[in-house]
């Protein structure tokens, strides 16, 4: 078992051919692609790089050191999945993707990361010396997170990634490294681990993390015209408007600034969401 795989090592240049140099350390020989270098190496000189075993089980060393390493966490993009094994993550190596075991993924296959999702991982070795991706846990994310210090962010949109799926909801971290939580009641569909989301701030928790929602704002759900009509109804003392789908088009245009067709579509949305009800001479708000 090679204990140096997944680590930065320094070895001695012992040989070369047309395309590669050969670097040796502790009796193990690693090949180095010459295309990585601008200047040639001398036999007997030392070379420092990242050691790993590639997809063809060849020992390799590279100067293009990935940010992901043993005890070194960073983001990697999911490039493939394999049922019965797990998912594969690109950490920047030309001929090696790192597998994250299905044992470390959610029990529900639908919550596994998809191609293009991103995971924060480090490298770990199993008893046979094989390299695997190790998912960052709560301690890691708390260590790198930043507190939310702006109390005026309510209703802002934030970009975030799913870092944990739980029974009560979903844990995320934003692009500014603020932690957040999305309760089950604020989700229309449970997001995948590693999925990139746009979420809305609905509160800031006492521990200075976000309370977020994936549900649309009212006007996004029912449409801007419907939201306008709803707000007008809310401002009326009796929550009533003397307009309905039988009203004169010019009267609708003069009062709401929209066509009768737009008004009918908006009214249909409001009725569908049970926000208003039809009266004999107009519409009223359902409280």
* Shared domain check, 171 and 184: yes
Residue ending a domain, among 175, 194, 213, is 213
Asked, for residue 68, whether it belongs to a domain, the answer is no
Residue ending a domain, among 213, 243, 273, is 213
Query: What is the pLDDT at residue 222?
Result: 72
Residue ending a domain, among 62, 89, 105, is 62
Residue % of the chain over a pLDDT of 70: 98
Asked, for residue 202, whether it belongs to a domain, the answer is yes
* Shared domain check, 156 and 122: no
* Shared domain check, 207 and 151: yes
Asked, for residue 157, whether it belongs to a domain, the answer is yes
> At 183, is the secondary structure helix, strand, or coil?
strand
Assigned token pair, 94: 């030309």
Burial of 153 (0-12, 13-18, 19+ CB in 10 A): middle
Query: What is the pLDDT at residue 70?
Result: 87
Asked if residue 54 has pLDDT above 80, the reply is yes
Q: For the sheet containing 98-101, what is the strand order?
A: 98-101, 86-90, 74-82, 118-125, 131-135
Assigned token pair, 78: 């999911």
CATH for 106: 2.40.50.140
What element of type H or E holds 227? helix 224-235
* Shared domain check, 207 and 233: no
Residues 6+ apart with CB under 8 A from 17: none
* Shared domain check, 253 and 208: no
Asked, for residue 153, whether it belongs to a domain, the answer is yes
pLDDT in tens, 144-157: 999 999 888 988 99
pLDDT band at 221 (very low <50, low <70, confident <90, very high): low
Query: What is the pLDDT at residue 190?
Result: 93
- Kindly write down the DSSP assignment for every residue of 239-259, as one continuous string: -EES--TTS-HHHHHHHHSS-
* Shared domain check, 144 and 208: yes
Asked, for residue 44, whether it belongs to a domain, the answer is yes
Asked, for residue 250, whether it belongs to a domain, the answer is yes
How many domains is the chain built from? Answer: 4
Closest to 190 measured CA to CA, from 108, 273, 85, 283: 108
CATH for 24: 2.40.50.330
Q: Residue 285 in contact with residue 276, Cβ under 8 Å? A: yes
pLDDT band at 182 (very low <50, low <70, confident <90, very high): very high
Asked, for residue 69, whether it belongs to a domain, the answer is no
Asked, for residue 67, whether it belongs to a domain, the answer is no
Cα angle 161, 163, 166; round to 5: 120
pTM metric for this prediction: 0.74
10 Å Cβ neighbour count for 39? Answer: 5
Structural domain boundaries, residue 236: 219-285
Angle 260-272/249-256 helices, nearest 10 degrees?
80
């Amino acid at each position: 078992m090679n204990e140096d795989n997944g680590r930065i090592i320094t070895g001695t240049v012992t040989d070369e051919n047309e395309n590669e140099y050969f670097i040796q350390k502790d009796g193990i020989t690693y090949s180095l692609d010459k295309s990585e270098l601008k200047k040639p190496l001398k036999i007997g000189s030392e070379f420092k790089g990242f050691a790993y075993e590639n997809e063809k089980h060849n020992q390799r060393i590279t100067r293009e050191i990935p940010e992901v390493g043993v005890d070194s966490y960073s983001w990697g993009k999911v490039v493939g999945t394999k049922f019965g094994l797990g998912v594969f993550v690109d950490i920047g190596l030309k001929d090696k993707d790192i597998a994250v075991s299905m044992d470390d993924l959610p029990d529900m296959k639908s919550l596994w990361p998809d191609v293009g999702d991103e995971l924060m991982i480090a490298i770990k070795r199993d008893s046979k010396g094989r390299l695997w991706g190790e998912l960052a846990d709560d301690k890691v994310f708390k260590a790198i997170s930043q507190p939310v210090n702006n109390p005026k962010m309510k209703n802002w949109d934030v970009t975030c990634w799913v870092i944990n799926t739980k029974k009560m909801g979903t844990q995320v971290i934003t692009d500014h490294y603020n932690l957040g939580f999305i309760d089950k009641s604020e989700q229309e569909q449970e997001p995948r681990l590693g999925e990139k989301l746009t979420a809305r701030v609905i509160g800031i928790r006492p521990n200075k993390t976000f309370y977020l929602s994936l549900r649309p704002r009212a006007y996004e759900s029912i449409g801007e015209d419907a939201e306008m009509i709803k707000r007008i109804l809310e401002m009326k003392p009796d929550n009533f408007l003397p307009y309905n789908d039988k009203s004169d088009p010019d009267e609708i245009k003069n009062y709401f600034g929209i066509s009768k067709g737009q008004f009918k579509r908006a009214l249909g949305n409001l009725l569908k969401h049970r926000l208003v009800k039809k009266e004999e001479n107009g519409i009223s708000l359902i409280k």
